[in-house]
C-alpha cells in the first residue's frame, strides 16, 4: 500500500481531496493513476476509495506555494471520473476554489495578515487569478459564522471569491465564436440556438423549452430519462466541436467530459428545491440547471454561476433573453435544484460594442473535514 498526505475539504457544494503538490511525483504523467486509486475509480460506488460516487464529491485540488509576486499559491483542479479511468484537468471548479485559501493558510503556505486574509490563487487550469477573502480572526481560519449557501446544511463564515479577468478561461475569448447566439444542427434532432460563453469556465447555454423541459425539473427527473441525457450530451458534444475542444461529438464524454458545461436556463418561476423548500419566483432572476459529467448537477457550479452572470449582461444571449429585465448585474440570483445562488459581475461596454468584465464575484463557505494520510494501491 502507498501513502499520501492530504486533507479533505468541503468547498461550497463540492467536496474533494486537497494535496500539496510536493507529495505527488514530479512527473505529472503519474498523477492520474494515483488520483484514480485514491478516489476508488473506476467504480460507480467508489467503494474502495475516498470518492463519494457523485461528480461533486470526486474532485481534487493540488496546491503549491508560489514564487511569483503576483499570487501566493498555485492551484490545479482535477475532476476524477467515477466510472471511467479518466482524470480531467480542463477547466476549474469554483466551489473547490473556495477551500483553496483556507487550505493554504492551514498548511502555512500563506501567512495570516489580518482579521481577513486575502489569498491570491493562481488556477493553472484557466491561467486566471482568484482573490480569496478568508476570515482569520485570532490568526486562524474561522469556520464559524451565520452565512449559508443553498445545498449545504447549517451556516459558516463567508468566503468572498473575486475572479480577476474571468473572460477567455480556456478559449481566450469571452465569446469564442464572436456570436451571442450560434445555431447547432443536432444529429437526429433539430437545429437549436445556443450561447457559447467562456468566463471562469466555458459553458453552452440552451433554453429549457428547446429540449422539452420547463426549467423547474429536479436532477432525478432529468437523470431518469436516458433519452434526454443522450440528447443533452449530444448538444454538449456538438458545442465542444464548435469550440475546437474535440473533432468528433460522439467522443465528448471521453475526450472532454467536464467542459463545456451544458446549462439549461429558463425564466424565473416558483419551484420546489430538492430539500422540499418552496422557492418564490420573486427571489430568482433566472432559472438554471447544469450538467456535470453527463448527469445533472445537484446544485450549481460556482464557475458556472459566474459564467451565467457574465452571459446575462451580453445582449441577445440565451441568458440575457431569459433573465428578468430589472436584474442587478452585481447581485444575480440563479434558481437551481438546491435553492438560490448569488453572484455578480463588474462590466463595461467597449467602444466597439464588446463587453469588458474585469471582475466576477461569488460567495461560498468551506470547511476542513479531515487532515491525515490516505492509503492507496497501484494496479
Give the start-to-end residue ranges of the domains of the chain. Answer: 2-170+365-376, 182-349
**246 and 194 Cβ atoms separated by less than 8 Å:** no
Partners of 333 in the β-ladder: 342
pLDDT at 379: 72
How much is the average pLDDT of 89-117?
Answer: 97
- State mean pLDDT over 74-88: 97
List, in sequence order, the alpha helices (H) in 318-374: 318-322
Nearest alpha-carbon partner for 193 in 264, 286, 284, 285: 264
Q: What is the dihedral of CA 301, 307, 312, 318, to 10 degrees?
A: -80
Show Cβ contacts of residue 336 under 8 Å, excluding neighbours closer than 6 positions: 150, 287, 288, 289, 290, 297, 299, 300
pLDDT of residue 2: 97
**What's the whole-number mean pLDDT along residues 304-311?**
98
Find out if CATH 3.10.310.10 is the number for domain 2-170+365-376: yes
Express as a percent the part of the chain with pLDDT over 70: 99
What share of the chain has pLDDT > 90, as a percent?
A: 98
Q: State residue 349's pLDDT score.
A: 85
**For residue 352, is pLDDT > 80?**
no
Note the pTM of the prediction, 2 decimals. 0.91
**Residue whose grid cell is 477551500:** 99
Per residue in 108-152, pLDDT tens?
999 999 999 999 999 999 999 999 999 999 999 999 999 999 999
Residue 277 pLDDT more than 90? yes
Q: Answer yes or no: is pLDDT of 105 > 80.
A: yes
Coil, strand or helix at 343: strand
- Rounded to whole angstroms, the Cα distance separating 319 from 171 reads 20
Read off φ and ψ for residue 219, nearest 5 degrees.
-50, -45
Residue 210 has what DSSP assignment? G
Q: Do domains 2-170+365-376 and 182-349 have the same CATH topology?
A: yes
Bridge pairing between strands 14-20 and 286-292: unpaired
* Helix or strand run (H / E) with residue 31: helix 31-39
In terms of C-beta density within 10 A (0-12 exposed, 13-18 middle, 19 or more buried), how is residue 274 classed? middle
292 and 338 Cβ atoms separated by less than 8 Å: no
Q: So what's the pLDDT on residue 203?
A: 98
Over residues 83-103, the mean pLDDT reads 97
Is 137 strand, coil or helix? helix
Q: Which helix (H) or strand (E) holds 135?
A: strand 128-135
What's the whole-number mean pLDDT along residues 309-326? 97
Taking residues 346-371, report their average pLDDT: 92
Instruction: Measure the CA angle with vertex 332, ends 209 and 218; round to 5°.
Output: 40
Residue 160 has pLDDT above 80, yes or no: yes
Q: What is the mean pLDDT of residues 170-196?
A: 97
Dihedral sign for Cα atoms in the order 85, 89, 90, 93: positive
Residue where the block lists cell 440563479: 334
* 350 — pLDDT class (breaks 50, 70, 90): confident
Count the Cβ atoms, other than its own, within 10 Å of residue 50. 22
Residue range 214-229: mean pLDDT, rounded? 98
Predicted local confidence at residue 354, as pLDDT: 81
Fold exhibited by the domain 182-349: Diaminopimelate Epimerase; Chain A, domain 1 (3.10.310)
Give the whole-angstrom CA distance, residue 370 versus residue 375.
14
- Return the minimum-mean-pLDDT range out of 179-188, 246-255, 350-359: 350-359
**pLDDT for position 340:** 97
Query: Taking all residues of the chain, what is their mean pLDDT, rounded to a whole number?
Result: 97
Amino acid at each position: 500500500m502507498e501513502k499520501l498526505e492530504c486533507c479533505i475539504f468541503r468547498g461550497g457544494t463540492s467536496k474533494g481531496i486537497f494535496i500539496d503538490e510536493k507529495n505527488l511525483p514530479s512527473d505529472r504523467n503519474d498523477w492520474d493513476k494515483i488520483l484514480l486509486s485514491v478516489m476508488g475509480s473506476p467504480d460507480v460506488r467508489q467503494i474502495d476509495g475516498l470518492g463519494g460516487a457523485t461528480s461533486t464529491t470526486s474532485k481534487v485540488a493540488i496546491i503549491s506555494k508560489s514564487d511569483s509576486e503576483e499570487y501566493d499559491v498555485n492551484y490545479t483542479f482535477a475532476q476524477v471520473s467515477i466510472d471511467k479511468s479518466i482524470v480531467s484537468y480542463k477547466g476549474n471548479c469554483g466551489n473547490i476554489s473556495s477551500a483553496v485559501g483556507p487550505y493554504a493558510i492551514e498548511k502555512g503556505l500563506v501567512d495570516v495578515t489580518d482579521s481577513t486574509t486575502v489569498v491570491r490563487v493562481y488556477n493553472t487550469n484557466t491561467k486566471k487569478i482568484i482573490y480569496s477573502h478568508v476570515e482569520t480572526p485570532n490568526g486562524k481560519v474561522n469556520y464559524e459564522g451565520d452565512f449559508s449557501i443553498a445545498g449545504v446544511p447549517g451556516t459558516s463564515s463567508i468566503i468572498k471569491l473575486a475572479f480577476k479577468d474571468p473572460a477567455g478561461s480556456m478559449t481566450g475569448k469571452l465569446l469564442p465564436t464572436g456570436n451571442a447566439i450560434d445555431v447547432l444542427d443536432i444529429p437526429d434532432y433539430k437545429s437549436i440556438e445556443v450561447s457559447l460563453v467562456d468566463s471562469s469556465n466555458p459553458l453552452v447555454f440552451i433554453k429549457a423549452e428547446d429540449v422539452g423541459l420547463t426549467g423547474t425539473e429536479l436532477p432525478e427527473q432529468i437523470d431518469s430519462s436516458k433519452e434526454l441525457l443522450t440528447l443533452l450530451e449530444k448538444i454538449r458534444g456538438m458545442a465542444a466541436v464548435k469550440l475546437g475542444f474535440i473533432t468528433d461529438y460522439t467522443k465528448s464524454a471521453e475526450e472532454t467530459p467536464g467542459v463545456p458545461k451544458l446549462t439549461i436556463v429558463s425564466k424565473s418561476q416558483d419551484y420546489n428545491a430538492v430539500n422540499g423548500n418552496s422557492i418564490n419566483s420573486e427571489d430568482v432572476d433566472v432559472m438554471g440547471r447544469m450538467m456535470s459529467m453527463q448527469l445533472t448537477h445537484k446544485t450549481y457550479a460556482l464557475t458556472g454561476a459566474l459564467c451565467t452572470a457574465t452571459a446575462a449582461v451580453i445582449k441577445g444571449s440565451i441568458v440575457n433573453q431569459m433573465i428578468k429585465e430589472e436584474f442587478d448585474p452585481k447581485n444575480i440570483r440563479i434558481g437551481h435544484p438546491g435553492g438560490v445562488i448569488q453572484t455578480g459581475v463588474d462590466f463595461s461596454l467597449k467602444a466597439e460594442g464588446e463587453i469588458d468584465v474585469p471582475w466576477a464575484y461569488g460567495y461560498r463557505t468551506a470547511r476542513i473535514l479531515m487532515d491525515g494520510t490516505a492509503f492507496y494501491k497501484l494496479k
